[in-house]
Amino acid sequence: MLDVLVIGGGISGGSAAIYTAQGGLRTAVIDSGMSQVKQVSQLYNYPGISEISGTALMDTIKHQAIASGAEWTEGVVESVTQIDRVFSILLADGKELAAKHLIIATNLQTTLLKGLGFELAVNEKVPSGKVKKVLGIEPDGTTTLPNLYITSLLAGLSSQSVIAAGHGASVGISIVSKETGKSYMWHDK
Ligand SMILES: Cc1cc2nc3c(=O)[nH]c(=O)nc-3n(C[C@H](O)[C@H](O)[C@H](O)COP(=O)(O)OP(=O)(O)OC[C@H]3O[C@@H](n4cnc5c(N)ncnc54)[C@H](O)[C@@H]3O)c2cc1C
């Protein structure tokens, strides 16, 4: 069984996977490859990087997650159930996975969340009024379902890449800290 399964390998899910894998947890990402950031020809507002294309940023995050030890699979998750604190995940190709912790980082895609019984509302931080957030979610991404975390816009945050990356990292750190029983910090030398 996986320690952590991340559904959605965009900015927030990829970032979460970097942290959980680096923290020693067996981590897998399932991603359908449609990160919104790939629509951005050049980003100028990602701190520390003067300018980068959305595709290059996404490729780098994926590379960092894999280098940290995460498995990365292209695919679509069709359904999620939780029985006795174990998540069962069914992919469109029929493959099944089991995980202790689940991170839903699917951004605009809310089907899985509705299937799990979450209520959705408009994310007021996005002016179009078309983007949803989950009701009852905590700032750290935790939800009413044990060991299930939700990131980024779905957690009611603003639509900016650095915020998505930071929230994913924060969720990853929370999970590693919970699993190891001590506050996780990643300090390179
Ligand atoms: C036109 C446009 C311009 C933007 N410009 C900027 C900008 O200049 N600067 C900036 O900071 N931000 C910008 N953004 C915002 C930025 O793209 C988002 O903040 C960021 O991508 C959100 O990250 P995320 O992880 O929440 O979602 P995403 O990066 O969108 O990732 C979600 C991932 O989940 C996957 N997924 C969904 N459902 C499933 C499923 N069932 N199974 C498997 N995978 C699934 C998708 O394929 C996708 O890869 C822009 C967005 C748009 C649309």
Q: Tell me which residue has its CA closest to atom 23 in ligand 1.
A: 11
Residue that the structure tokens 């990292």 belong to? 169
Q: How confident is the model at residue 29 (pLDDT cuts 50, 70, 90)?
A: very high
* pLDDT value of position 68: 98
* pLDDT value of position 50: 98
Say how many Å lie between the CA of residue 133 and the centre of ligand 1: 14
**Average pLDDT for residues 7-24, to the nearest whole number?**
98
* pLDDT value of position 105: 98
Q: What CATH number was assigned to the domain covering residues 2-180?
A: 3.50.50.60
Neighbours of 156 (CB within 10 A): 19
Residue that the structure tokens 């947890």 belong to? 25
User: Is the Cβ atom of 9 under 6 angstroms away from ligand 1?
Assistant: yes
DSSP class of residue 43?
Answer: B
d(CA 36, CA 66): 21
Say how many Å lie between the CA of residue 11 and the centre of ligand 1: 6
Residue range 49-102, pLDDT digits in tens: 999 999 999 999 999 999 999 999 999 999 999 999 999 999 999 999 999 999
What are the domain boundaries of the chain? 2-180
Residue that the structure tokens 């975390």 belong to? 149
User: Is the Cβ atom of 53 under 6 angstroms away from ligand 1?
Assistant: no
User: Is the Cβ atom of 23 under 6 angstroms away from ligand 1?
Assistant: no
Mean predicted lDDT score pLDDT of the chain: 97
Residue range 157-176, pLDDT digits in tens: 999 999 999 999 999 999 99
Say how many Å lie between the CA of residue 10 and the centre of ligand 1: 6
Say how many Å lie between the CA of residue 17 and the centre of ligand 1: 15
CA angle 34, 153, 63 (to 5 degrees): 45
Cα 178 from chain centroid?
A: 17
